[in-house]
Amino acid sequence: MNNKGQEGWGMLVIVAITLIVGVILVQVVAQQIGSATDTNLIINRTLATTGLNGSAVYINDYRHLEDVVMTNATGATSAKIITSGNYTVTNNVINPTTGGLSVRINISVDPETVDDVDWNMSATGQPLTYIDNSGGRALAGMIVIFFALGVLVVALYPTLRQKFA
């Protein structure tokens, strides 16, 4: 019986399985980290604000909005900017109807300056999965790097132990 040869094949099978699983997991983790560290650009998202003077609209897809610009939704040729005095953006609030994290836009429309139509919103938004701490975002990227290094060490282990020369 060739014990040394059987040991070599067993090590090769273990390394192959570990590499396949490791590469798949590195890919999945890297995709999830991308969604947790990138902000999204929102362009002309329609908000149904008709007749909502004094009430609130909740945006459930995002937890934080920056650089918000509102225009009326009557079309590109006649769209006018709605001044920030007609709305207030509150980030990281709990939506009372869904119980989820969201952004609240309080509407206080001056009927003489803004028509009673829906609004288009453009902004930069942080999705619900966004890591708001810059150190956490940097550490999340490091997880992928160290995971890939771990897979590399597993791939090189038999050679480093001189199992295959």
Smallest CA-to-CA distance from 126 within 135, 137, 142 is with 137
For residues 17 and 86, state if they share a domain.
no
For residues 27 and 49, state if they share a domain.
no
To the nearest 5 percent, what fractions of the chain are helix, strand and coil?
40, 30, 30
DSSP bridge pairs for 119: 47, 72
For residues 55 and 123, state if they share a domain.
yes
Res. 165 pLDDT band, cuts 50 70 90: low
Instruction: Please state the rounded mean pLDDT for residues 152-165.
Output: 75
Task: In whole angstroms, give the CA distance from residue 13 to residue 70.
Answer: 59
For residues 109 and 97, state if they share a domain.
yes
Instruction: Please state the rounded mean pLDDT for residues 68-97.
Output: 82
Q: How many separate domains does the chain show?
A: 2
Residue 54's CB: how many other CB atoms inside 10 A?
A: 8
* Domain contains 70: yes
Q: Which domain holds residue 17?
A: 3-37+134-160
* pLDDT value of residue 124: 94
What does the mean pLDDT of the chain come to?
Answer: 82
Res. 83 pLDDT band, cuts 50 70 90: confident
Backbone angles phi, psi at 59, to 5 degrees: -110, 105
pLDDT at 107 over 90: no
For residues 46 and 99, state if they share a domain.
yes
Task: In whole angstroms, give the CA distance from residue 121 to residue 98.
Answer: 22
Task: In whole angstroms, give the CA distance from residue 37 to residue 147.
Answer: 18
* Domain contains 66: yes
**Rounded to two decimals, what is the model's pTM?**
0.70
Smallest CA-to-CA distance from 107 within 49, 27, 44, 68 is with 49
* Domain contains 165: no
Res. 112 pLDDT band, cuts 50 70 90: low
For residues 76 and 97, state if they share a domain.
yes
For residues 52 and 97, state if they share a domain.
yes
* Domain contains 94: yes
pLDDT at 79 over 60: yes
For residues 104 and 28, state if they share a domain.
no
